[in-house]
Amino acid sequence: MWLPGQGRSRFGFTVNYQFDWEPILESRALILEGLATTILLSLCALALASIIGVIVGTLASSRHKGARLGAAAIVELTRNIPLLIHMYIWYVGLAFLRLPPFLCGVLGLSVYSGAYVAEIVRAGIASVPDGQNKAALATGLTRLQALLLVVYPQALRIVAPSLGNVFSQLIKDSSLASAIAVMELTYQASAIEGQTFRTFEIYITICALYLLLVSAVTLALRLLAGPRDDAPAQELASA
Amino acid sequence: MPDVISQNMPFLLQGLVTTLRIAALTAIGGTLLGLAVGVAVQLRLPFVAGLLRVYIEFVRGTPLLVMLFICYFALPALMGLHVTAEQATVLGFVLFIAAYIAEDVRSGLRSIGSGLVRAALATGLTRLQSLRLIIVPLALRRIIPALFNQYVRLLKFTSVASVIGVQEFTGSAMLVNARVFAPVSILIFVALTYLILCLLLSSVGRVLHAYLAA
């Protein structure tokens, strides 16, 4: 039910919020600590998710049917379970392992995001023409060398934008680790909110910080992938 | 099925109903809002389009949990309102998913060739009519897979509402766990339920796409 506040206007509410950024500035140490934890959490999960994704995605493009089915099962099983449940599985379900919350956050986040990376890796490998792989093998490279030196680099350039999407999603998803008591940015924000009651200011601040992180990752990946190959676009333009 | 689950089934089902209610409400609300925002941005409506672009970028750069905190704590404080956790959740999810759906709608609209638009106008339809009768339905049909992707995300995201105290499926399951402490069987049950629901939802999307896009 919508209850009007004091000084009810004809819209049923009035804006009588006094902005005060002083408490936010005073608790900057906590915010920075949270930011550092978020960055560390995201980096660890990003690395682990990439490893899981490359392995599962390569299995999914294997010639063996069993490997393909296994990879598909892993992807569907992990992707269709909410991230929060992934974290609870490590933190509550496997509580007897006594893993520290940070590690539970990393594991939950990377298993969940790994499935998304795997789908992208599979699409990337499929987008590299088969002739490339055959030519690489014909020059005498081993299977692994052909994958690492010929197929993956070309695939990476193609999937860089989608990979950027998944990685920025991962950074934002890391906020859920606050639910299992990892003291990252969102956790610190709630704590500061509880102490200072500067609700709006603190959440706007961390929104800006998340936006900054996400933009940084997107930009880094764009630089890493190099200039986009404009051939298809030119073809379209001239058609 | 373990005793823990069957004994607490009514309570868990109640949570599941809440989850489904939130998901359905926000899917409908998010689609309508996303459609409106997407069309407005794509038509470059003066003044509005710029504001909506800022909204889209802001939401897409914000974690869902922070969005929920804003809707539950910050907006009520700003406006002097009181909202229940479930109202805040629905509002937060609608605002959140609409930004993503708007981007999908835009890509759907962009995929409609300009020849079709000109043909629609040439038959004597007004701009609004050709949009409503020809272009938007075609675009929507093309983005059904993307839309259902968002719905699946939404269904999974409803679990996050438990963090601000909504007793939906995850919330009630964790409550049961706090009482009886059987984390393994409860979490397996919860995970499998979400898995089945999400797989069902995405197969509905596939069937609908195959049926409509033919």
Contact present, A127 and A220 (Cβ < 8 Å): no
Residues recorded for chain A: 239
Check pLDDT > 70 for residue A93: yes
Question: Among candidates A46, A85, A41, A89, which has minimal Cα distance to A188?
Answer: A41
Class of domain A27-223 as given by CATH: mainly alpha
Q: Residue B159 and residue A84: Cβ atoms within 8 Å?
A: yes
CB contacts of B170 in chain A (<8 Å) are: 82, 84-85, 88
Does the structure show a pLDDT above 50 at A232? no
Strand partners, B82: A3
> Taking the CA of residue B62 as centre, how many other CA atoms within 13 Å lie in the half-sphere pointing to its CB?
27
Q: Which residue of B has its CA nearest to A17?
A: B78
For residue A11, the model assigns a pLDDT of 54
Mark yes or no for CB contact A92/B77 under 8 Å: no
Q: What's residue A13's pLDDT?
A: 57
pLDDT at A6: 45
pLDDT of residue A233 exceeding 60, the answer is: no
pLDDT at A228: 59
A160 confidence band (pLDDT: 50, 70, 90): confident
pLDDT digits (tens, 9 = 90+) for A135-156: 999 999 999 999 999 999 999 8
- pLDDT band for A196, please (50, 70, 90 cuts): confident
Concatenating the DSSP letter of every residue in A19-70 gives P--HHHHHTHHHHHHHHHHHHHHHHHHHHHHHHHHHHHHHHHT-S-HHHHHH
Please give the pLDDT value at position A236. 45
What is the structure's pLDDT at A229? 55
pLDDT score, position A15: 65
Band of the pLDDT at A20, cuts 50, 70, 90?
confident
| pLDDT in the model for residue A3 | 43
pLDDT at residue B214, as a whole number? 59
Per-residue pLDDT of B38-60, as tens digits, reads: 999 988 888 899 999 999 999 99
pLDDT band at B89 (very low <50, low <70, confident <90, very high): very high
Which residues lie across from A3 on neighbouring strands? B82
Given a cut of 80, whether residue B213 has pLDDT beyond it is no
CB contact under 8 A, B80 and A17: yes
- Kindly state the percentage of chain B with pLDDT values over 90: 72
> pLDDT tens-digit profile of B135-158?
999 999 999 999 999 999 999 999
Q: Answer yes or no: is pLDDT of B174 > 50.
A: yes
Distance separating alpha carbons of residues A63 and A7, to the nearest angstrom: 70
- The DSSP secondary-structure symbol of B182 reads -
Rounded distance, CA A71 to CA A67, Å?
Answer: 6
Q: Which residues of chain B lie closer than 8 angstroms to A204, CB-CB?
A: 74
Residues 6+ apart with CB under 8 A from A128: A151, A154, A155, A158
Report CA dihedral (A212, B62, A200, A16) to the nearest 10 degrees. 120
Instruction: State whether residue A11 is helix, strand or coil.
Output: coil
Query: A residues 77-116 near B, CB within 8 Å?
Result: 77, 80-85, 88-89, 92-93, 95
Structure tokens at A183: 């003291």
B113-123 mean pLDDT = 88
Say which residues have a Cβ less than 8 Å from residue B41's Cβ, sequence separation at least 6: B49, B52, B53, B56, B102, B106
* Nearest-angstrom CA–CA distance, A174 and A168: 10
Touching check for A161 and chain B: CB below 8 Å? no
Region A96-100: mean pLDDT is 91
CA distances from A87 to A176, B22, B23, B79 (A): 8, 22, 21, 34
Domains of chain B and CATH, by start = 9-213 (1.10.3720.10)
pLDDT score, position A103: 96
Q: Report CA-CA distances (Å) from A123 to A61, A87, A111, A207, B152.
A: 9, 27, 19, 32, 21
pLDDT tier for residue A14 given thresholds of 50, 70 and 90: low
In sequence order, which residues have a C-beta less than 8 Å from that of residue A25 and are 6 or more positions away? none
Q: Pick the range with the lowest mean pLDDT from A148-152, B65-69, B126-130.
A: B126-130
Tokens of B113: 């060739």
Q: Which residues of B touch A203 (CB under 8 A)?
A: 66, 69-70, 73-74
| Confidence check: pLDDT of B187 > 90 | yes
Distance, CA of A117 to CA of A111 (rounded, Å): 10
